[in-house]
Amino acid sequence: MSHVSSHSPHGQSPLRTVQVLGGGSAGSSAHVRSLAAGLVARGVRVTVCAPSEAERAYGFGDVGAHHLAVPRRSDPASVAALRVACADADLVHAHGLHAALRASLALHGRSIPLVVTWHTRSYAEGARAHLLRMLEKRVARAASVVLGTSSDLVDRARARGARDARLAAVSSLPRRPERRGAEDTGSHEGPENPGAFASTGNAGRPESAEDAERARLKIRAELGALDRPLLMAVGSLERHRGYDVLLDAAHAWLAHDPAPLLVIAGEGPERAALQRRIESEGLAVRLAGRRDDIAELLPAADVALLPSSWESRSLLAQEALHARVPLVATAVGGIPELVGEAAELVPYGDAPALARAVDRLLADPGRRAELRDLGSAQAASWPTEDATVAQVLSIYDELTGAF
């Protein structure tokens, strides 16, 4: 495999790339920062076109990329700004549907290759669903290569007319830097809560087993779960997250003595409806709101829960396996290929199956220990940042004839 370097054997200029990011979920924003760092280190010139708040939060300039503030809008002024930014690019790489749409508009009439990464999929109903399909078709057909972060996204791109669709190598949990005063960015394009994983990473985790246990007990005391099992879910409070099913399952856990406490971290439009159900049905559930300390919260849980109707490379699933927390998740989207045998998988929408899976784990310390070890092994098998950059560079080589 050839790699682009800062100077070719024939003295050509370094490859010039533009990375286009919209609002960006936590995963896609951190991925672009990681990718930019790897490309710059290999001599590629990188310009990141993203909203100013994304630069403040993720620091693309800190890794040697040039940041150009471009709003997430698709109005003529924003597209014109993007068109100017891409004028001397050898290749443009857009991340997410909206970023890809704007990039395709900006590149109209030009022969600059466009690579598109679909990190997740958008959600829409009714007339908006038809519009979404049209946008996906336009983006898929405009791209030279579409990279999907899960096999079903690759299939989706092909169904929408992509000429070349491939499975993306995406490194496990690319880390967001600690940046003072940074605000989380994020569109509602993806299923993750943009702010939920703001402090994801190992930097704040305890270093010794004793410290880890003290931190765990402190978190459990704060949440009110010192003397009962703690279940945890993380993500935006939206319909596709499956929290209505999770509350259905919570009825079964009331029969336990003591009843497990279910904590859901995240914010969103379904909060009021969920809170009404919790109160009217007397459920042992706490809506914790938006939290910036998920990396500390999650290891305190006995079981992590992912009840979504669809996920690609779920940040919660990755974090749970890294943190050695047993995971119960729906067998949807990219979850089965992401977690392998390292989680209990249940059908989406099946509250009894979800409740039973949790009951079995709470009653079986041996199975929980087994899942912890399987999770560590599965996490170690995920692509590294170097592998991710290598795949992208090989595609850039193909499309630009760098060598």
Q: Is the pLDDT of residue 306 over 50?
A: yes
Mean pLDDT for 163-174 is 85
Q: Is the pLDDT of residue 184 over 80?
A: no
Mean pLDDT for 217-228 is 93
Predicted local confidence at residue 203, as pLDDT: 42
- pLDDT interval class at 266 (50, 70, 90): very high
Predicted local confidence at residue 198, as pLDDT: 42
Mean pLDDT for 227-237 is 96
CA proximity to 147, closest of 134, 164, 135: 164
CB distance 196 to 291 below 8 Å: yes
The Cα-based distances of 294 to 185, 211, 250, 330, 387 in angstroms read 17, 17, 22, 21, 27
- pLDDT interval class at 76 (50, 70, 90): confident
Q: Is the pLDDT of residue 186 over 50?
A: no
Predicted local confidence at residue 9, as pLDDT: 40
Predicted local confidence at residue 170, as pLDDT: 86
Predicted local confidence at residue 122, as pLDDT: 80
The Cα-based distances of 246 to 250, 251, 264, 349 in angstroms read 6, 9, 10, 9
Q: Is the pLDDT of residue 177 over 70?
A: no
Mean pLDDT for 163-192 is 59
Angstrom distance (rounded) from CA 401 to CA 398: 6
pLDDT digits (tens, 9 = 90+) for 27-65: 788 899 999 999 999 999 999 999 999 999 999 999 999
Entry pTM: 0.85
pLDDT digits (tens, 9 = 90+) for 94-144: 999 999 999 999 999 999 999 999 998 887 788 889 999 999 999 999 999
Predicted local confidence at residue 209, as pLDDT: 84
Structural domains present in the chain: 16-186+384-397 (3.40.50.2000), 209-381 (3.40.50.2000)
| Token pair listed for 221 | 């005391």
* H runs (alpha helix) in 197-242: 209-223
**CA-CA-CA-CA torsion sign (131, 132, 137, 138):** positive
CA proximity to 330, closest of 355, 350, 360, 302: 350
Angstrom distance (rounded) from CA 246 to CA 109: 49
pLDDT digits (tens, 9 = 90+) for 325-347: 999 999 999 999 999 999 999 99
Predicted local confidence at residue 171, as pLDDT: 83
Predicted local confidence at residue 188, as pLDDT: 37
| Token pair listed for 375 | 């999770």
Predicted local confidence at residue 204, as pLDDT: 44
Compute the mean pLDDT over every residue in the chain, rounded to the nearest whole number.
Answer: 88
